[in-house]
Structure 1
Amino acid sequence: MNRNILILGFTFLIATSSYALDCENAMDTYSLKECAKIDYDKADKKLNKTYKQVMSLLDDEGKELLKKSQRAWITFRDLNAEFQSDSMRGGTGQGLIYTSILTEMTIEREKELSIKLNQ
């Protein structure tokens, strides 16, 4: 019995490791969630880069204000995404909505911070 479970597990790993993610044509929930995560990771990296650039331009007081506002924004972003996705509570789409909201808000925050780079 344990041997059959082990074989089944290896078969699953082999099958899923060859899975090519096509975000342009994603249709199933797994692919949509994975693609949403990729989008969020890109937005988050861009935000972190802009945040560091802005921090390098600020004096100590400005840096402290940015840190505080960023912490508050992260709390708001996460709670807002949780609230927005609650309409799908327990459903397969809840995680997708949650991640999509995180992405949208992260993109907007990066735009807000990048304005400081152009002043």
Structure 2
Amino acid sequence: MTRWAIICALTCVGAPALAQDVIYSFDATVNCLAEKGEEGEAHQCFGTSANACMETTDGGWSTLGMVQCLDAELKDWDRRLNTAYGLLMKHSKEVDAEMAEWGSSAPSQAEALRKMQRAWIPFRDASCEYERSTWGGGTGGGPASLSCFLHLTAQQAWSLEKNVEAYEAATCNHEGCTE
């Protein structure tokens, strides 16, 4: 079941006509990453904004509140993942072009990145479907599944962002960039 089907199953059937307003900001996660991200503890920050949302939203710890807060942070991580993937793909294509210019027979970085990301998506989906299944059909399965999506997406986004940073640092060291 996709995460959107999970959200609808929890919010479209038997729920009030209007979803509750959640108090959400990605700031808690951004602040946590600024503090812990460079020390290799970024994983401790994944879900921080969703948890803050649940704490500050009236009914935030209800199934509906958890779903809305978790989905809000998931969307932020998904945007970050897509941005990082796009930048990394651009950089990978530049490396591939440079390698081809040199006559290298090295494997394509862009193709390897594409294959890696395409393999990651079904891994994420299967992992989170398994997480949902451990709830035996209970209402906690939706939030558990979304939490899984959030954490795995955040982990992948963070990893891709670190690769982008490494590429840009190497390029600047090579080309003598100044900020």
TM superposition score normalised by structure 1:
0.80
Superposition CA RMSD, Å: 1.6
1:73 matched residue in structure 2: 120
1:33 matched residue in structure 2: 67
Can you give the 5+ residue segments of structure 1 that lack an aligned partner in the other structure?
1-11
2:22 matched residue in structure 1: 21
2:33 matched residue in structure 1: none
1:108 to 122, 133, 155: 155
Whether the 8 Å contact between 2:131 and 2:141 is mirrored in structure 1 is no
Letter in 2 for 1:87: T
Letter in 1 for 2:113: L
Can you give the 5+ residue segments of structure 2 that lack an aligned partner in the other structure?
1-15, 24-52, 97-107, 167-179
- Is 1:84–2:112 an aligned residue pair? no
Residue aligned with 1:118, SS? helix
Q: Measure, in 1, the Cα distance between the counterparts of 2:77 and 2:164.
A: 17
2:86 matched residue in structure 1: 52
- Is 1:94–2:141 an aligned residue pair? yes
1:5 matched residue in structure 2: none
Identity of aligned residues (%): 28
TM superposition score normalised by structure 2:
0.55
Structure 1 or 2: larger helix share?
1
Q: Measure, in 2, the Cα distance between the counterparts of 1:66 and 1:99.
A: 25
Structure 1 position 85, deviation (Å): 2.1
Structure 1 position 93, deviation (Å): 0.9
After the TM superposition, which segments of 4 or more aligned residues of structure 1 sit over 3 Å from their partners? none
Number of residue-to-residue matches in the alignment: 105
Deviates more, 1:25-34 or 1:37-46: 25-34
Deviates more, 1:81-90 or 1:45-54: 81-90
Residue aligned with 1:68, SS? helix
